[in-house]
Structure 1
Amino acid sequence: MKAIALREYGSADDLRLADVPDPKVGPAEVLVRVKAAGVNPVDWKLAAGGLDALMEVRFPLVPGWDVAGVVEQVGFDSGEFAVGDEVFGYVRKDWVQQGAYAELVTANVRMLAKKPRSLDFAQAAGVPLAGQTAYRSLKRVGIKAGETVLIHAAAGGVGSFGTQIAVALGARVIGTASERNHDYLRELGAEPVTYGEGLADRLRELGPIDAAVDFVGGDAVEVSREFVSPDRIASIANPAVGAHGYVWVRPDGAELAELARLADEGKLTVHVDRTFPLAEAAEAWRLSQQGRTRGKIVLTV
């Protein structure tokens, strides 16, 4: 099969479209014919060696954890899915090597869910990592209908999902963003507030806050502590929130199924900023590294 591969840790300049062996399909796994693969910052950070102390990485490395495609083969004890099913998933395995930047990828059935009918493959491929990160963060702080949640970086790739999920849960959302993204946040159902110097003063004018989620880092956690009890703050960027509040998303088909339900009910939309063919993965990474996109970057296969 064709895949984007790295022979050693490197950068976008080292990505190559190569012939690699088709993956073997083990028990409780399915083989997915990839239609689209989501691009996330963790992809190029991992490829540069940024997670070497944390995860087992093997070469040649095929990056990518977000996938949408069609089941082509089922392994033993994999009755949850059938050949021809349209699926999407977060296919992070116990070691990193056989990722989604390929024509084929295997996935444990617990990593997948049926693709939302309302989303095309490119949109579906943009959901798993960012959507599950947002969903798990909101669950971690226990947000409920009628409460107010502060979402830092609410217009970003993860934050835009968090905003929509919180609104769907019946919460009031206050979202930090640059002024150019305020209208976008209003469209998602949030009350925008400009981040940066003076943020705490601006938040005081908006009334009490019950919970906060940090999708950006910096001083977001410190500002949140002025308004929210520590046990109702979650962060994907600041381990200072402790083991309870620090979110590292895990593959979970049940969470994906819930996100699919929200999408099919019209409560969760996915904005795809750019798509690139698989062979242009390097250009997709360079765009991602600029940090200026609104929505997802996706590779089409």
Structure 2
Amino acid sequence: MKKVSFAEFGGPDVLRLIDAEEPHAGPGHIRIAVRAAGVNPVDWRIREGQMRKVRPTALPAGVGLDAAGVVDEVGEGVDGVEIGDRVFGEGTDTCAEFAVLSAWARMPGNLTFEEAAGYPSVMETALRVIREVGVQPGRTLLVSGASGGVGSAVLQVARDRGIAVIGTAGAANQDYLRGLGAAATTYDEGWVERVRRLGRVDAALDLAGSGVIRELVELTGDPRKVVSIADLAAPEFGARFSNMAGSVTEALAETVRLLDRGALHIPVEKSYPLTETATAHRDSQAGHTRGRRVIVV
């Protein structure tokens, strides 16, 4: 099969499309013929070697955690899924023609493979950080870097739970944030004062890693109410760096519930063929994403 791989840590140019042995579904796992794979910031952070201390990576390594496709192998002990089912979920090396998933759910009938591929890690992360920051209904959550996949999910989950949200993003994404129910402002000079004018901040999330932890602590008044998924230096300010994934199976169940109710939609900003995975990584690293990017296989 064809698979995207890298043999050394570095920039997007280290990615190669190679011929590889097909993986197979062991006990408790399934294999899918991949139709689309999600592109997440964690993918290029792993590729660059940023995550080696918290997520050791043996080289050569594959790329990708999220995927959607058609089940073609079912491992021992797996119930409730059959060959031919359309599923989305999380596994390893998903930027490939075949991938093994460790967590999955049946795709709602109205989802395309491209749409489904971007949800698993995004929703697991969004649900985790909302839980970790401890924001309650009726309170206000500030989201720094709110227009990407995780930010889009956080805004919609928060709205569904009765949590008010203030979001920061680039000028081009202000209407997008407002459409998701957030009070919005840009993150350029003077953003702290603009946030203050929008209302009291009870908790804050850093999703972009743009060096704003000190300001988020200042706005909340409590470093325990600040969580980052992108700034390894967050603990230096008393805030939390969140990297321990929770239950993807539970996140997928919540995703399906919200999708079925029409309470969740994260747009696919751009799709790329497998041969252009490096370009997808490069674009993801450039930021300013509205929604998600996916690889079509």
Q: What TM-score do the two structures reach when normalised by structure 2?
A: 0.89
Deviations 1:24-53 (A, max 9, x none): 321111111111001123223322333334
CA distance in 2, matches of 1:194, 1:300: 32
The alpha-carbon distance between structure 1 residues 202 and 15, as it changes in their structure 2 partners (threshold 3 A), is closer
The Cα of 1:190 is off from its aligned counterpart by 0.6
Amino acid at match of 1:235: S
Farther off after superposition, 17-26 or 194-203 = 194-203
Please give the alpha-carbon distance, in whole angstroms, between the structure 1 residues aligned to 2:36 and 2:268: 12
Equivalent residue pairs, number: 293
Counterparts of 2:164 and 2:194, CA distance in 1: 16
Give me the whole-angstrom Cα distance separating, in 1, the residues matched to 2:12 and 2:239: 35
| Greater Cα shift, 160-169 or 194-203 | 194-203
Matched, 1:119 2:111: yes
Shift of 1:162: 1.0
Q: TM-score scaled to structure 1, two decimals? A: 0.88
What is residue 242 of structure 2 aligned with on the other side?
247
**Other-structure match for 1:106:** 100
- In structure 2, give the amino acid aligned to 1:294: R
The 3-state SS of whatever aligns with 1:234 is strand
Aligned-pair identity (%): 41
Q: Does the CA-based 8 Å contact 1:278-1:300 persist in structure 2?
A: yes
Distance 1:123-1:19 versus aligned 2 partners, 3 A rule: same
Q: Which moved more, 1:244-253 or 1:62-71?
A: 244-253
Distance 1:146 1:189 in 2: 14
Partner of residue 95, structure 1: none
1:271 corresponds to 2:259:
no
Match in the other structure for 2:194: 202
State the 1:266 CA deviation: 1.2
Gaps of 5+ in 2: none
Partners of 2:231 and 2:279 in 1: how far apart? 29
- Residue 211 of structure 2 corresponds to residue 215 of structure 1: no
Offset of 1:10 from its aligned partner? 4.3
Q: Write out per-residue CA displacement over residues 103-158 of structure 1, whole angstroms, 9 at most, x where no aligned residue.
A: 111122xx222223332111111112222212211111223322211111111232
- What's 1:238 paired with? 231
Preserved CA contact (<8 Å) 2:147 2:288:
no
- Provide, for residues 236-282 of structure 1, a one-character-per-residue CA deviation record: whole Å limited to 9, x for no partner: 12343489832115252111210221122111112111111112222
Question: SS of the residue aligned with 1:196?
Answer: coil
- Alignment correspondent of 1:258: 254
The amino acid of 1:40's aligned partner reads N
Distance 1:218 1:2 in 2: 35
* Alpha-carbon distance in structure 1 between the residues aligned to 2:196 and 2:59: 51
Matched residue type, 1:25: A
Cα distance in 2 for partners of 1:83, 1:177 equals: 42
- Spell out the pairing of 1:80-229 with structure 2 (5 A cutoff): 80-91=80-91, 98-108=92-102, 111-228=103-220, 229=222
Q: Does 1:281 align with 2:273?
A: no
Do structure 1's residue 58 and structure 2's residue 62 form an aligned pair?
no
| Distance of 2:60 and 2:197 partners within structure 1 | 53
Query: Structure 2 vs 1, CA of residues 23 and 138 (structure 1 numbering), >3 Å: closer, same or farther?
Result: same
In structure 1, C-alpha distance between the alignment counterparts of 2:244 and 2:273, rounded to whole Å: 27
SS at match of 1:201: helix
- For 1:144, the aligned partner's letter is Q
- Give the letter aligned to residue 116 of structure 1: P
2:36 is aligned with 1:36 = yes
Q: Distance in 1 between matches of 2:156 and 2:58?
A: 37
Question: What is the letter of the counterpart of residue 198 of structure 2?
Answer: L
Contact 1:234/1:241, CA 8 A, preserved across alignment: no
